[in-house]
Structure 1
Amino acid sequence: MEILITGGAGFIGSHVLAQLKEMPDMDVVVFDNLSSGSRNHVPDGMELIEGDICDEEAIDAVFSDHHFEAVVHLAAQTMVPVSVEQPVLDCQINLEGVLHVLEACRVHGVPHILFSSSAAVYGDNLNIPLVETERLAPTSPYGVTKMTTEHYLRVYHELYGMDATVFRFANVYGERQGEKGEGGVVSIFCKLLSHHQGLTVFGDGSQTRDFVYAGDISQAIIRALPLKGYHTMNVSTGQETSVNDLIHSFEKAVGHSVDVTYTAPRTGDILRSVLSNGALKENLDFVPAMDLEEGIRRTYEWYQGQWAQ
């Protein structure tokens, strides 16, 4: 099976590639501009094409040279603050770029596209655990582009018969996150603790998130490759974890207590967030299994290894 992974040299993509390299029946092509990814993430034997999804001609050339049976679209502008500060840039990458990929799939007859959406499409909704049928009310341009892409995928399925799978990721963490950028709270904490610095928490630490390991995200994506039709699934643990509980997991990983400074909450931060994973279990017979303490230990040890080099 020949598949294309856009953004495959990035954080989540690197975990997907690591699992795919153990599957000899998979012929994998990676398309990435390496702005936040690294060619070191692409295993030997996989083709890496350096290019940008905003370059329509480059996208078409890749599809013309291959016969993909599925496209996993991970290439994106992923930072909510960047989308707030530069909404036009966010739109160019996360909508115009997506449309270039979708059109290439349509024109070249690719039957299935799998898309990395986000919990950001739900906005600040306390009807938790959130299910896929909840009203979508994103509170950032980033969330708007993810929601809009979901609608494009639905329409492409209805108009052109393209199979489409939408994954709404919870708070993803794991090795290699934020190598060239800020990343999420886990990667920020990893970097600070690896440099023997204390942590800063906005608010009292009672705010919650649903932390899902990138390796579990990768398993969900790979399991969904044969899916037919149009599907929307949260990829989550379904477990609510406070920032204070997250810090306790870090203390176990580092082997000692850590210094924490609590400061004023940030305007617009969501207080509670957890996603239902019922649809994931129903469609793929899969639920993320990584224990948070083990996942944090693996992630922290990877960061320690990076700074020791």
Structure 2
Amino acid sequence: MRILVTGGAGFIGSHLVDAFLDRGDEVTVVDIASEERSVRLNAGAALHRVSVTDAEALTAVVRAARPEVICHLAAQIDVRISVTDPAADAMTNVIGTINVLTAAQEVSARVLFASTGGALYGLDAKIPSPEELLPVPEAPYGTAKYCAEQYIGLFNRLHGGAHSALRLGNVYGPRQDPTGEAGVVSIFCGRALEGERPTVYGDGAQTRDYVYVGDVVAAFLAAADAARPGIWNIGTGRETSVLDLVEVIGRISGAPVEPVFAPARPGELPRSALDVARASRDLNWQAATSMTDGVARVHAWIRDGANPRAPR
């Protein structure tokens, strides 16, 4: 197939580009990547440094590439930034998605949208949370992702499309910046390897559904091949607390990790896990990587130099 990946030089996107190229697909990437980030990108993909908020430039790339599938991963991903600047968050995550959908319509491409499961379902959601639950997000980030999903459904109804949304859990794996502000697994592994104490916000009892990047890539491939509309949770279905994660990293490191505690941050949920039965049924997909194995791969990746072209 001809594939276009927005955010294809990012952490998840670069792994996804590799997977499509490995199976023989033709891949075009739209990303405003810096030189530092672009080194993640496979040389076999054509990179266009275009923002999804630039409708005219995005449409020109889509017209030229004529993709059959657009995997839309370009996003503002920091919950805290969304709280302090919700308009900028909405510009990327809502308007950017509308621009992608509009461009896709011109070439009859299907859009697979990387939504969020971890920030969508709300404080009182059933755990694990099924897709049927009414989302009640606690931060602008989750609100914008849900709004983008509504536009996906609208474009399907208005134009007979087959666009889909994958609601991702907390994705982790090699190529996730261990010095950044997002990606707790990479950050904590990096701190442990430096002999530093990681910072835990709140009491550490808060839970997330941590899903390995290779499993997320497999879900996107399955959804691309399914050629049908849908909304699917992509996670493990299991809760892991921050303190559980600290304990796993300590075992892998061979020495206990002693965190520093700080006040909880606004807009973050106390519990989250995703019901993945629908993805198993519709896509024949389920996560295959255990938390211990996945964290061990991240730990080894950072220990060995954090190669930006690390395999899945």
Match of 1:15 in 2: 15
Match of 1:262 in 2: 261
Q: Is contact 2:80-2:267 (8 Å) kept?
A: no
Q: Structure 1 residues 256, 40: CA separation in 2 closer, same or farther (over 3 Å shift)?
A: same
CA offsets per residue over residues 126-153 of structure 1, 9 Å max, x none?
4111000001111111111100110100
Shift of residue 109, structure 1, vs aligned partner: 2.1
* Counterpart AA for 2:273: V
Match of 1:41 in 2: 40
CA distance in 2, matches of 1:289, 1:307: 23
Aligned residue pairs total 307
Q: Structure 1 residues 38, 307: CA separation in 2 closer, same or farther (over 3 Å shift)?
A: closer
Match of 1:281 in 2: 280
Shift of residue 180, structure 1, vs aligned partner: 7.3
Q: Structure 1 residues 72, 141: CA separation in 2 closer, same or farther (over 3 Å shift)?
A: same
* Counterpart AA for 1:4: L
Q: Is contact 2:178-2:189 (8 Å) kept?
A: no
* Counterpart AA for 1:9: A
CA distance in 1, matches of 2:36, 2:100: 19
Match of 2:116 in 1: 118
- Give me the TM-score of the superposition, normalised by structure 1: 0.94
Unaligned runs of 5+ in 1: none
Q: Is contact 1:194-1:307 (8 Å) kept?
A: no
Alignment of 1:156-235 (within 5 A): 156-178=155-177, 181-235=180-234
Shift of residue 273, structure 1, vs aligned partner: 1.0
Unaligned runs of 5+ in 2: none
CA distance in 2, matches of 1:180, 1:28: 29
Secondary structure of the residue that 2:59 maps to in structure 1? Answer: helix
Q: Is contact 1:11-1:177 (8 Å) kept?
A: yes
Shift of residue 36, structure 1, vs aligned partner: 9.5
Q: Identity rate of aligned residues, in percent? A: 36
Match of 1:74 in 2: 73
* Counterpart AA for 2:6: T
Match of 1:32 in 2: 31
Q: Is contact 1:11-1:37 (8 Å) kept?
A: no
- Give me the TM-score of the superposition, normalised by structure 2: 0.93
Q: CA RMSD in A?
A: 1.9
Q: Is contact 1:28-1:46 (8 Å) kept?
A: yes
CA distance in 2, matches of 1:143, 1:52: 21
